[in-house]
């Protein structure tokens, strides 16, 4: 059943419905309705943050979900599903896919990605995992580790990728990742127009995630208001 639900995402749009505590729309109820609106607009899947939001979105939409928990730790730069605690929380609601930071940064407690991935694979052998990567090298490494999905989520958001743009040179980074990995690739990160969505699927991405351009009205509003300054 899970395989069929995940396969339904092939060539389709996944909408990221997230609002952090400091954002105006922070509320599981609101994210559930946001996800329902995304479904009505044609989304085939949702990416969501926290056990509570995911549970609400599951009840409202019935769509397959990429689940994460964003949490900050003082001794690590990793904040996307950084420890086993977050994985355990997500497994209480069992999203189809769990995504986690797959950059080179050490996790809380100084744990390396390789060791952490081995731990979660052993504990939850039937779960599907997505690697949120920021460079081609990280994506190739995550593929070798055995992640089920390779994501471009972190391109431009880490020190080692801060000069990179996912859409630059007609998605050169995405093309090189697609050519170098054997697992499915999910395009994500600054894919903010319908034209870019169409292009990454044409290039061979399994699916595409769009977030802020759809679900963060404060940022959408800013793009309009700033042209009047």
Give me the residue spans of the domains in the chain. Answer: 2-221
All residue ranges of the chain with pLDDT < 70 are: none
Distance CA 80, CA 8 (A): 25
pLDDT for 3 equals 83
Task: Give the per-residue pLDDT at 219.
Answer: 95
Q: Is there a contact between 13 and 197 (Cβ–Cβ < 8 Å)? A: yes
Of 46, 58, 45, nearest to 7 by C-alpha is 45
pLDDT tens for each residue of 149-194: 999 999 999 999 999 999 999 999 999 999 999 999 999 999 999 9
* Contact (Cβ atoms closer than 8 angstroms) between residue 71 and residue 49: no
CA distance 3 to 128: 10
Q: Which residues pair with 73 in a beta bridge?
A: 76
Per the listing, tokens 């997500």 go with 90
pLDDT of residue 60: 98
Does the pTM surpass 0.85? The reply is yes
Q: What is the CATH number of domain 2-221?
A: 3.20.20.70
Please answer whether residues 155 and 189 qualify as being in contact, where contact means their C-beta atoms are separated by less than 8 angstroms.
yes
What per-residue confidence (pLDDT) applies to 91? 98
Paired tokens of 146: 């055995």
> What pLDDT is attached to residue 84?
98
Distances (CA, A) of 97 to 75, 155, 170, 218: 26, 20, 28, 28
Distances (CA, A) of 77 to 19, 81, 158: 20, 12, 9
Model pLDDT, residue 166: 96
């Amino acid at each position: 059943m899970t395989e069929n639900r995940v396969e339904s995402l092939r060539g389709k749009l996944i909408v990221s419905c997230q609002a952090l505590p400091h954002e105006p729309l922070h509320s599981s109820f609101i994210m559930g309705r946001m996800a329902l609106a995304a479904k009505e607009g044609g989304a085939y899947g949702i990416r969501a943050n926290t056990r509570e939001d995911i549970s609400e979105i599951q009840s409202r939409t019935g769509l397959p979900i990429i689940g994460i928990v964003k949490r900050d730790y003082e001794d690590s730069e990793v904040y996307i599903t950084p420890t086993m605690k977050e994985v355990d929380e997500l497994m209480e609601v069992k999203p189809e896919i769990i995504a986690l930071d797959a950059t080179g940064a050490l996790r809380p407690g100084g744990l390396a990605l390789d060791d952490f991935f081995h731990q979660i694979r052993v504990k939850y052998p039937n779960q599907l995992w997505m690697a949120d990567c920021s460079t081609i090298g990280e994506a190739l490494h995550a593929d070798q580790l055995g992640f089920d999905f390779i994501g471009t989520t972190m391109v431009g958001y880490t020190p080692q990728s801060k000069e990179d743009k996912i859409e630059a040179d007609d998605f050169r980074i995405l093309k090189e990742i697609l050519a170098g990995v054997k697992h499915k690739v999910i395009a994500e990160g600054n894919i903010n127009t319908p034209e870019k969505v169409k292009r990454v699927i044409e290039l061979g991405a399994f699916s595409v995630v769009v977030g802020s351009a759809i679900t963060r009205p404060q940022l959408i509003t800013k793009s309009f208001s700033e042209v009047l300054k």
